[in-house]
């Protein structure tokens, strides 16, 4: 499999984690989102949004991290990243959507660029915008993790919720969000980050990462 990504993309980071948890080998092709490399014609043929990630598996071209993770779960079910019970699955997927729909899309690179170009937002306003929505998402997740988590975000093994949570924590740190109101969420994130699959997926460990 080939993962088209970018070291700092939160959505690509999710897929790297899930591939690692499933024990699947893959090659990386990275596109520098800062220079617009993902808009090249060759990549647009794979991804009509010219966003990352795209996962290419044999002749199958898969886009959108949430769809890719569900596909991995269906085609490579061990170890499971969703619980067996339908209600439990719905709670994990709600956690996923709080981050994947209502938090991350509001502050990814294309949106932050548009805030500056379309609305003349200055860098401080852009930083506050990102932190606001991450804070809102974490405030919604904290009571859910307190209710349902048991070490990890949901119960006592990693799920799709952790695949989304850890990259969102990385973004929160980049935007200097105060994490003290979210102790259960932070604890779940720390537990997940300690696992090899999560550690290997960290942006700083990717081949296209900026040198420190």
Residues that bind a copy of itself (CB under 8 A): 48-49, 51, 60, 62-68, 70-71, 74-75, 86-87, 89-91, 93-94, 96-98, 100-102, 104-106, 111, 114-115, 118-119, 121, 125, 128-129, 132, 136, 139-141, 143-144
Q: How far is the CB of 150 from a copy of itself (least distance, A)?
A: 18
Cβ closest to a copy of itself, residue 21 vs residue 126: 126
Whether the CB-CB separation of 5 and 46 falls below 8 Å is answered with no
Token couple for 27: 């090659």
Cβ closest to a copy of itself, residue 80 vs residue 193: 80
Token couple for 5: 């990504």
Q: How far is the CB of 27 from a copy of itself (least distance, A)?
A: 20
Phi (first) and psi of residue 85, to 5 degrees: -80, 135
Q: How far is the CB of 24 from a copy of itself (least distance, A)?
A: 15
Token couple for 22: 């499933």
Q: How far is the CB of 18 from a copy of itself (least distance, A)?
A: 13
Cβ closest to a copy of itself, residue 129 vs residue 175: 129
Phi (first) and psi of residue 195, to 5 degrees: -75, 145
Distance of CA 47 to the CA centre of its chain: 18
Phi (first) and psi of residue 4, to 5 degrees: -85, 120
Cβ closest to a copy of itself, residue 91 vs residue 192: 91
Phi (first) and psi of residue 62, to 5 degrees: -120, 135
Cβ closest to a copy of itself, residue 59 vs residue 210: 59
Q: How far is the CB of 212 from a copy of itself (least distance, A)?
A: 31
Judging by DSSP bridges, how do beta strands 27-30 and 54-57 pair with one another?
A: unpaired
């Amino acid at each position: 499999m080939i993962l088209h990504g970018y070291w700092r993309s939160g959505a690509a980071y999710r897929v790297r984690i899930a591939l690692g948890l499933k024990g699947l080998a893959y090659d990386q092709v990275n596109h520098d989102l800062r220079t617009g490399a993902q808009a090249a014609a060759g990549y647009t043929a794979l991804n009509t949004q010219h966003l990352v990630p795209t996962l290419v598996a044999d002749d199958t071209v898969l886009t959108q991290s949430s769809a890719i993770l569900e596909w991995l779960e269906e085609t490579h079910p061990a170890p499971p990243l969703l619980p067996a019970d339908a209600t439990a699955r719905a709670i994990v997927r709600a956690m996923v959507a709080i981050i994947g729909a209502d938090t991350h899309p509001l502050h990814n690179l294309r949106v932050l660029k548009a805030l500056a170009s379309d609305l003349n937002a200055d860098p401080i306003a852009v930083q506050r915008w990102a932190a606001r929505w991450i804070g809102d998402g974490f405030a919604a997740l904290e009571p859910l993790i307190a209710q349902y988590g048991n070490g990890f975000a949901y119960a006592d093994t990693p799920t799709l919720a952790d695949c989304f949570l850890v990259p969102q924590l990385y973004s929160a740190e980049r935007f200097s969000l105060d994490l003290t109101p979210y102790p259960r969420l932070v604890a779940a994130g720390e537990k997940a980050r300690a696992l090899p699959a999560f550690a290997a997926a960290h942006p700083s460990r990717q081949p296209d990462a900026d040198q420190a």
